[in-house]
A and B are shown apart, each in its own frame.
Chain A
Amino acid sequence: MNNQKYLDSLKNKTLFLQGDEAAAYGALFAGCNFFAGYPITPASEIAELMSRELPKSGGYYIQMEDEIASIGAVIGAVWSGGKSMTATSGPGFSLMQENIGYACMTESPCVIVDVQRSGPSTGQATKGAQGDVLQARWGTHGDHEMIALSPWSSQESFDLMIEAFNLSEKYRNPVIFLLDGEVGHIREKVVFPDINELNIYQRNISLEKIDVFGGQRIPPMIEFGMGQRIHVTGSTHKSNGMRDVSSMEAHDTLIRRIYDKISSNRNEIAHFETHYIDNMDYLAVSYGAAARPTMGAVLKLRERGIKIGFLRLITIWPFPIDICTELGKRTKKIFVPEMNLGQVSREIERFVNCPVESVSKIGGISHTIDEITNYISANI
């Protein structure tokens, strides 16, 4: 089967899928044809599904010797015409960081799924968490921007994975797909679309010899094997790709460009959902697994007459600053339920003038609706 035939065979199907599996199918719909990974709970389901499905659609699955090799192979495949991805959890995500920076520096579009579990270190292997939010942003060294998305359901895991590939291709940047053990393992109804009705961003490739690493904010790519003898390096380079590790200008020009291409498009990349924000005294902000009980708590609090709105972040990085600033002006206090000790809450603090309170929970069990409801009632 080729990719088109394979995707036609899945058209309009309704399945009962884990968030992990839905993410994998989303990748296949996005045209992913290369996966390299290494097993780890709670992300292994993605590798298992890809190993089963990719050969059917004409793609390739490789289990590498570790996560460093996995992300390396992913980037090698990108420059050889692949749409590629890997999936891991905290320990593997930590190992990948050097080469994630390489992907930023070489502007290699790819998707890295991190199904977050409790850390640091091996932590609670089988328990979900949201402790990698800041690592997704700052895990690799040096100045860089990052795109990270976080779904809250199986269906969104599917849909958002397509967006993850689209953004990575459009901005020529790695995209971190921040799942968590809860959403990754939840099992829910997912409806597949018709591939012909989907908006898939096709890689911008130049057939003529052009500068692949500069000259415009997001230059088109030239892939290996096109006879252009391109030079791809993670060292500081000129717009033609050749190393220049000594001039201040070369570094300044390159790094500011790869920074600005993301940050100046912040609002275009920012996906979020708002509820009850036109009539609120307080605001809850959450994302991923923690957003589910938060939504429940918001409904319950409103039933009790407490005017609270809800902002659910879908894009975590670049941080959706404008919506936070705007809503911050209209609320007395912001509550941020998250399964860590306050990572997004401290980011929000930077952009609002009202008090921001983290409603944190760690240990691998998600917040209950009552826990959040009671916490907020007691602290308004």
Chain B
Amino acid sequence: MRLLTHNMLSSNIKGVTNGFPLGIEVEKVIEKQVDFNPDFLRNMFAKVEWKALVDAARTMGYAELPEEADLSMLESDDFLKRFHHALLELHLEEGALVCPETGRKFPVNKGIPNMLLLEDEV
């Protein structure tokens, strides 16, 4: 699971009102290189919740993102490269996602989060 996906996931348990962002429990992180695409990053910047990304990246061991970011930074290659790495190249391979309200854990195995709910959670 890449951090872009983490940025799009919320806890969907019945009764939870603010299920975003999910906490991350790290067992294993892997890195996969992907092509650098500034246009894509500029496009995604508007869609991403920045603080959630910064915190998630830090949990995954990457602390190179600025706490705050604005559109002007998209001009900087250095910024885009960090954003690229955090958003697309870090993968949570093993671990869990944690509902911020209930603490319920959603396991991540082989890079795939399991967000299935039990009957009493739907």
- Indicate, yes or no, whether A interacts with B: no
Question: Could you tell me which B residues sit within 8 Å of A by CB distance?
Answer: none
